[in-house]
Homo-oligomer: A and B are copies of this chain.
């Protein structure tokens, strides 16, 4: 890839290129930036990675990542345990938390059902979700899954399973025009859904 750079640099570039958002070219740029900024970037990033590897673990309750067990959200007594928001990944959980509106708890599935990729219900944390729900405290499960085919398939599957296993109410995030969204830039499906779900002004 980068002839005349030693195998150590080649390996660093190859591994950096595997990060999402980076490819071979940006992997090289990242490696150069690290090697140029040894004290301000390479050393602290290495330390942060060693630290994360040692301390960060998956919460056994909700499947989120944190350094405490259970995670900060699951052990926060001020949060409403009657509400569980089901998300695909930890990244979606962080996005919900940035919104700052939701004060319940989470359940991270760890993926979506996908016939194409051969991901069935047993590969996701669905049994853990049903166990949490049937334990009693939960009143509502909010399915905050992506508006994609796999996301909606998973949402329907979960709604069915939850209806059989318990009598919690199951809801989904509203579909509609995003804040700041120009109608001209929206796809037809979103406009159709926003029209169907119209409400008094």
Contacts and interface: CB of A to CB of B under 8 A. Distances in A.
- The complex is assembled from copies of this chain, and their number is 2
A186 interface: no
Taking residues whose C-beta sits less than 8 angstroms from the other chain, chain A's interface range is 35 or more
A60 to B, nearest CB: 16
A8 B4 CA distance: 36
Given A26-B20, A97-B4, A42 B35 contact: no
A61 interface: no
Contacts of A66: 4-6, 9
A84 interface: no
Contacts of A5: 65-66, 90, 94
Nearest to A41: B18
A196 to B, nearest CB: 31
Nearest to A22: B21
Interface stretch (A47-55, A133-141, A177-185): A47-55
Interface of A: 1-9, 11-12, 15-16, 18-22, 26, 28-35, 38, 41-46, 48-53, 55-56, 64-68, 71-73, 89-91, 93-94, 97-98, 100
